[in-house]
Amino acid sequence: MARILITSAIPYINGIKHLGNLVGSQLPADLYARFCRARGDEVMFICATDEHGTPAELAAAKAGKPVAEYCAEMHEVQKGLSDGFRLSFDKFGRSSSPQNRALTQYFAGRLADNGYIEEVSEKQVYSNADGRFLPDRYIEGTCPNCGYDKARGDQCENCTKQLDPTDLIDPRSAISGSTDLEVRETKHLYLRQSALKDRLDAWIDEKTDWPVLTTSIAKKWLHDGDGLQDRGITRDLDWGVPVKRGDADWPGMEGKVFYVWFDAPIEYIAATKEWADEKGLDDDAWQSWWRTDKGADDVRYVQFMGKDNVPFHTLSFPATIIGSGDPWKLVDYIKSFNYLNYDGGQFSTSQGRGVFMDQALDILPADYWRWWLLSHAPENSDSEFTWENFQASVNKDLADVLGNFASRVTKFCRSKFGEVVPEGGETGPREQALIADLSKRLDAYQTHMEAIDVRKASSELRAMWAAGNEYLQEAAPWSVFKEDEAAAAAIIRLSLNLIRLYGVLSAPFIPDASAEMLKAMNAEDAAWPKDIASALSALPAGQAFTVPENLFRKITDDERADWQSRFSGVRS
């Protein structure tokens, strides 16, 4: 039994995420976690809401709520949606937790002790009306490139040009609208990533099994241009982890907080401590996953994220871990994903273009979305969601192949033998050929799942479903029954065992339907198969079963057209 630590990118608190966000980290992480558990591994699957920073303050202000109250409410919303998609986190924490505050301040102190923190004076926009420094996103104005009058101080959303606040024409505070702005000098802390460049470079060179997407992005940040740059880790904000050096105050940093991208990855560790604290466990329980001097030397740590998060997880967070000088666990494997686009364009949170997690669950159960998203995961390149493809995949793979197989077998058995596994008859060459085929496919399926090749794994699973349909069609028990009831019973008995097998193997992808199949076969405790031959004789003759009612329904052309229209524009 292996020990597997799994983390998925932490979703930001300001709003409900779309399907592209889901398939870029949390969903494939859940797939892998479920697979590892099914195989008997000990798994710790961690995620959280990322609650600090400028967007949280702006979203709270827009909602007319205190930021702490807004974050607490949105955490519950996101937790509810993750439950709705059956994401099996061991802990879904909060980056605003006391545990994360203490650990973030601890890491900052250790980095300072080891000479990896530097105080830097820099110029920043100050709003006299608001009485505060303004982060870049708190400044709005007219874009000098395209003339868009609501460009932010970091980027123009209209033309996507990167900006500095001083580039804006007629800049104003996004909080009060005041134009009474001036540039003042302020001090901030910087993480000296450049001093750790060679150690990070050597560490990444060791990861020869990482996806090309992951290593290429990391290497680009390490070597392109002037190479890896030091990074500011503090901000002039009210909401966040107060800047301290461990338990001690940090002179000159009063009123400042740590930058969200410094404290957010530390929440992976903190959420594990949250898990232990909630269970009344001691520090060894969570440290055994994170500290190599406490047992984490035998842990395999796997991260899942979209490609935009790769630089922070291959460089900044490892720099924090290494620079602390403590024996913290570094990631072993980073599975990164490209982008999922939407129906000829891009998902847009601001415009509400595309399907968001709450909307998806309102129109169809989670398994429909899980299957399509995972079987079309953007692993080697960007992929695109289209309603035509979604309809075709659901109707063919789920309804026609898997659902239809379970329905035909159980209903035929009920009509001819009753709702029990029939006895009698012997298997023959056709069944042996099926066992041989499924054995090869099971090996391939497990290999792809172990390698986290999501689309290849889904392809093998689909092929195993199809093999059962082909067997049933060729064996034709409805015809055989007329001449030889015992031979028909043997075909149906093996087919009922196939339903049980599909329930076990499909659970990482479609957990609800899998649970229905296993419940129908009276086999809720079925274990991962050691071999196909024994799996296809696991249900004893005489065991009762029930007919699963319509595992998957088909999507109609009218529904497809309606949804395509509904999710093409701005949300009301």
Residue type, 316: S
- Do the domain assignments include residue 287? yes
- Do the domain assignments include residue 434? yes
Give the mean pLDDT of 234-257: 94
What is the extent of the structural domain holding 48? Answer: 3-115+197-215+261-337
Query: Is there a single domain that holds both residue 60 and residue 27?
Result: yes
Q: Which residue has the tokens 């990164």?
A: 336
- Do the domain assignments include residue 553? no
Please check the confidence at residue 349 and state whether its pLDDT lies above 80.
Answer: no
> 176: which 2 tokens?
């009060």
Query: Is there a single domain that holds both residue 406 and residue 294?
Result: no
Residue type, 364: L
Per residue, the 3-state secondary structure of 108-166, as one string, reads HHHHHHCCCEEEEEEEEEEECCCCEECCHHHEEEECCCCCCCCEECCECCCCCCECCHH
Please check the confidence at residue 572 and state whether its pLDDT lies above 50.
Answer: no
Q: Classify residue 530 by burial, with Cβ atoms within 10 Å: 0-12, 13-18, 19+.
A: exposed
> 21: which 2 tokens?
């966000």
Q: For 496, what's the count of Cα atoms within 13 Å in the CB-facing half-sphere?
A: 35
240-to-52, 340, 369 alpha-carbon distances in Å: 5, 31, 35
The rounded percent of the chain whose pLDDT value lies above 90 is: 86
Q: Is 156 annotated as a binding residue?
A: yes
Contact call for residues 217 and 147 (beta carbons, < 8 A): no
- Do the domain assignments include residue 247? no
Query: Is there a single domain that holds both residue 508 and residue 526?
Result: yes
Give the mean pLDDT of 503-519: 98
Please give the pLDDT value at position 375. Answer: 98
- Give 104-148 pLDDT, tens digit per residue: 999 999 999 999 999 999 888 999 998 888 888 789 999 999 999
The rounded percent of the chain whose pLDDT value lies above 70 is: 99
Give the mean pLDDT of 271-299: 98
- Do the domain assignments include residue 163? yes
Please check the confidence at residue 571 and state whether its pLDDT lies above 70.
Answer: no
Query: Is there a single domain that holds both residue 408 and residue 293?
Result: no
Q: Give the E-state strand segments of 228-377 in sequence order.
A: 231-232, 234-235, 244-245, 248-249, 257-258, 299-306, 333-337, 340-342
- Do the domain assignments include residue 250? no
Please give the pLDDT value at position 570. Answer: 56
Point out the domain boundary residue: 279, 306, 337.
337
Cβ-based neighbours of 394, under 8 Å, separated by 6 or more:
368, 371, 372, 552, 554, 555
Q: Is 47 annotated as a binding residue?
A: no
- Do the domain assignments include residue 562? no
Query: Is there a single domain that holds both residue 76 and residue 149?
Result: no
Please give the pLDDT value at position 442. Answer: 98
Q: Rounded to whole angstroms, how far apart are CA atoms 437 and 455?
A: 20
Query: Is there a single domain that holds both residue 135 and residue 111?
Result: no
Query: Is there a single domain that holds both residue 513 and residue 468?
Result: yes
Read off the pTM: 0.93
CATH number, position 33: 3.40.50.620
CATH number, position 163: 2.170.220.10
- Do the domain assignments include residue 523? yes
Query: Is there a single domain that holds both residue 152 and residue 294?
Result: no
Please give the pLDDT value at position 58. Answer: 84
Q: Give the H/E segment covering residue 296.
A: none
R_g of the chain computed on alpha carbons: 27
Give the mean pLDDT of 291-306: 97
Average pLDDT taken over every residue of the chain = 95
Q: Rounded to whole angstroms, how far apart are CA atoms 169 and 538?
A: 73
Query: Is there a single domain that holds both residue 400 and residue 321?
Result: no
Query: Is there a single domain that holds both residue 76 and residue 124?
Result: no
Task: Give every strand in the sheet of 151-152, ordered side by side.
Answer: 151-152, 139-142, 169-173
Please tell me the least confidently modeled range out of 149-153, 472-476, 506-510.
149-153
Please tell me the least confidently modeled range out of 303-317, 338-352, 441-455, 541-555.
338-352
CATH number, position 467: 1.10.730.10
Please tell me the least confidently modeled range out of 188-197, 240-249, 344-353.
344-353
Query: Is there a single domain that holds both residue 477 and residue 429?
Result: yes
Q: Rounded to whole angstroms, how far apart are CA atoms 270 and 411?
A: 51
Query: Is there a single domain that holds both residue 70 and residue 208?
Result: yes
Q: Is 146 annotated as a binding residue?
A: yes
> 331: which 2 tokens?
């990631």
- Give 15-49 pLDDT, tens digit per residue: 899 999 999 999 999 999 999 999 999 999 999 99
Q: Rounded to whole angstroms, how far apart are CA atoms 164 and 185?
A: 16
Tally the domains of the chain: 3
